[in-house]
Amino acid sequence: MLNFEFKNPTKILFGKGEIAKISTEVPKDAKVLMIYGGGSIKKNGVYNQVKEALKDHDLHEFGGIPANPEYEVLIDALKFIKENNITYLLAVGGGSVIDGVKFLSAAANYEGEPWEILTKPVRTFEGEGMPFGTILTLPATGSEMNSGYVISRRKTNEKLSSGGPGLFPQFSVLDPEVIRSIPKNQIANGIADAYTHVLEQYMTAPSSADLQERIAESILISLQNAAPKVMSEEFDYDAAGNFMWCCTMALNGLIQKGVITDWAVHAMGHELTAYYGIDHARTLAVITPSHYRYNFETKKGKLAQYAERVWGITEGNVEEKAEKAILKMEEFFQSLNIKTKLSDYTQNFNGTAERIEKAFTERNWSGLGENKNLSPKDAFKIVEMSY
């Protein structure tokens, strides 16, 4: 097991009715800005619950953060924060709203041009951000309990990530009731995103970190168990709760401790969203099978372990089990009505691999993957296999 440090300061308030408790979590003397997306919170009652809970606070609001949070919109929010001397941010939404708030938290306490936080050679915000809490409305990203975020800039077709130890939410409310109003395609996205988060931290080489590996496998199995229940028309509170907690646990830092991690699938997937606007989770379902086939030799041991422990496949040698594992994973994505080829999403896919190779070369991203040895040329080949 590798050496590690682990600190996650986010307080979780899990369960039905917990939104009301933000009245005591948000400091009484704060000037609060509630930030939300395109308006789903006004239809499902979450907006009213927040207004009621904070009725004795100095509460302001800024809506309209789009999916794949847009830099230009966030710059408008930043102006609002500065002009109104806001001291506390409250994200009410999915990963896009929470990520947008993390960027604002950093940008509010940053002296230079805000875009630099995402483009500087070390893409980390070193300081302490403006304090913020979150009310999660869409389980998927884990952003509610980590300190990373991803921002898009449509003008330049860029989608870049950053983060920093001073950007954890102070608290996050996880009320499974919010899942009632989520469209099924977004629930599918949430399952596939969280599933891939586990894979990015697990599907490397077999390690000696037995507990982390078994927690990762348990999250995968729990997501598989919850999937048909949360995809069905009938609302199942316990399945919703399991799904929600799996998504948080998949990317709150725990399972990556003491092990090597990959994240090349996300790096390539973010480009597909930047070029074609494909939902984040769907880009992962497109890239992951090709990535595992291309890197079969280095990943086959763990793929076979996943086949055995997660899917109960006991027949065959390591290679045969590993091949079956990739097929089972593809079938799982497809069971969520998520397609696994780039050509399922765009007819303009020719040239995508070249474009990604060029973008990675320009950014000097030459050491992707768990062994930090995948070059932009390797990314080209993986993306081309996913057409």
Which positions touch ligand NZQ (CB under 6 A)? Answer: 37-41, 44, 67-68, 93-97, 99, 137-138, 140-143, 146, 148-150, 178, 181-182, 186, 189, 193, 251, 266, 280
- Residues 56, 62, 67: CA angle, nearest 5 degrees: 130
Q: Which residue, 144 or 193, has its beta carbon nearer to Zn ion? A: 193
Q: Which residue, 230 or 322, has its beta carbon nearer to ligand NZQ? A: 230
Smallest gap from residue 216 Cβ to ligand NZQ (A): 16
**How many residues bind to Zn ion according to rule CB under 5 A?**
1
Among Zn ion, ligand NZQ, none, what binds residue 44 when CB lies within 5 to 8 Å by partner kind? Answer: ligand NZQ
Among ligand NZQ, Zn ion, none, what binds residue 182 when CB lies within 5 to 8 Å by partner kind? Answer: ligand NZQ
Smallest gap from residue 142 Cβ to Zn ion (A): 8
Question: What is the b/e burial string over 140-150, where b = at least 16 CB atoms within 10 angstroms of the residue's CB?
Answer: bbbbbbbbbbb
Smallest gap from residue 380 Cβ to ligand NZQ (A): 22
Contact call for residue 262 and Zn ion (CB under 5 A): no
Query: What is the rounded distance in angstroms from the CA atom of residue 356 to the CA atom of residue 272?
Result: 9
Torsion of Cα atoms, 72 then 73 then 76 then 82, to 10°: -100
Among Zn ion, ligand NZQ, none, what binds residue 283 when CB lies within 5 to 8 Å by partner kind? Answer: none
Smallest gap from residue 91 Cβ to ligand NZQ (A): 10
Query: What is the rounded distance in angstroms from the CA atom of residue 311 to the CA atom of residue 314?
Result: 9
Smallest gap from residue 140 Cβ to Zn ion (A): 7
Query: What is the rounded distance in angstroms from the CA atom of residue 14 to the CA atom of residue 178?
Result: 12
Task: With beta carbons less than 8 A apart as the criterion, state whether 70 and 44 touch.
Answer: no
Q: Which residue, 189 or 340, has its beta carbon nearer to ligand NZQ? A: 189
Smallest gap from residue 364 Cβ to ligand NZQ (A): 21
Smallest gap from residue 386 Cβ to ligand NZQ (A): 18
Contact call for residue 99 and Zn ion (CB under 5 A): no
Smallest gap from residue 187 Cβ to ligand NZQ (A): 9
Q: Which residue, 248 or 305, has its beta carbon nearer to ligand NZQ? A: 248
Contact call for residue 193 and Zn ion (CB under 5 A): yes
Contact region for Zn ion (CB under 5 A) — 52-60, 190-198, 308-316, 369-377? Answer: 190-198
Smallest gap from residue 218 Cβ to ligand NZQ (A): 20
Q: Which residue, 272 or 383, has its beta carbon nearer to ligand NZQ? A: 272
Among Zn ion, ligand NZQ, none, what binds residue 187 when CB lies within 5 to 8 Å by partner kind? Answer: none
Residues 6 or more apart from 163 whose CB is under 8 A from it? 102, 123, 124, 125, 146, 147, 148, 149
- β-bridge mates for residue 31, sequence order: 58
Q: Which residue, 279 or 323, has its beta carbon nearer to ligand NZQ? A: 279
Residue number with the smallest Cβ distance to Zn ion = 193
Q: Which residue, 283 or 352, has its beta carbon nearer to ligand NZQ? A: 283
Contact call for residue 323 and Zn ion (CB under 5 A): no
| Per-residue tokens: 9 | 């300061």
Question: What is the b/e burial string over 225-238, where b = at least 16 CB atoms within 10 angstroms of the residue's CB?
Answer: ebbeebbeeeebee
How crowded is residue 278: how many other Cβ atoms within 10 Å of its Cβ?
A: 20
Torsion of Cα atoms, 370 then 375 then 376 then 380, to 10°: -80
H or E, element range at 353: helix 352-362
- β-bridge mates for residue 149, sequence order: 162
- The CA–CA distances, whole Å, from 246 to 251, 271, 295 equal 9, 26, 27
The backbone torsions φ and ψ at residue 92, rounded to the nearest 5 degrees and listed phi first, read -125, 95
Residues 6 or more apart from 377 whose CB is under 8 A from it? 357
| Per-residue tokens: 76 | 């408008």
Contact region for Zn ion (CB under 5 A) — 58-66, 67-75, 187-195, 237-245? Answer: 187-195
Q: Which residue, 135 or 322, has its beta carbon nearer to ligand NZQ? A: 135
Contact region for Zn ion (CB under 5 A) — 107-115, 146-154, 193-201, 340-348? Answer: 193-201
Which of 182, 166, 328, 170 lies closest to 247, judged by CA?
182
Mode of pairing for the β-strands spanning 148-153 and 158-163: antiparallel
Smallest gap from residue 275 Cβ to Zn ion (A): 17
Residues at the contact surface with Zn ion, assessed by CB under 5 A: 193
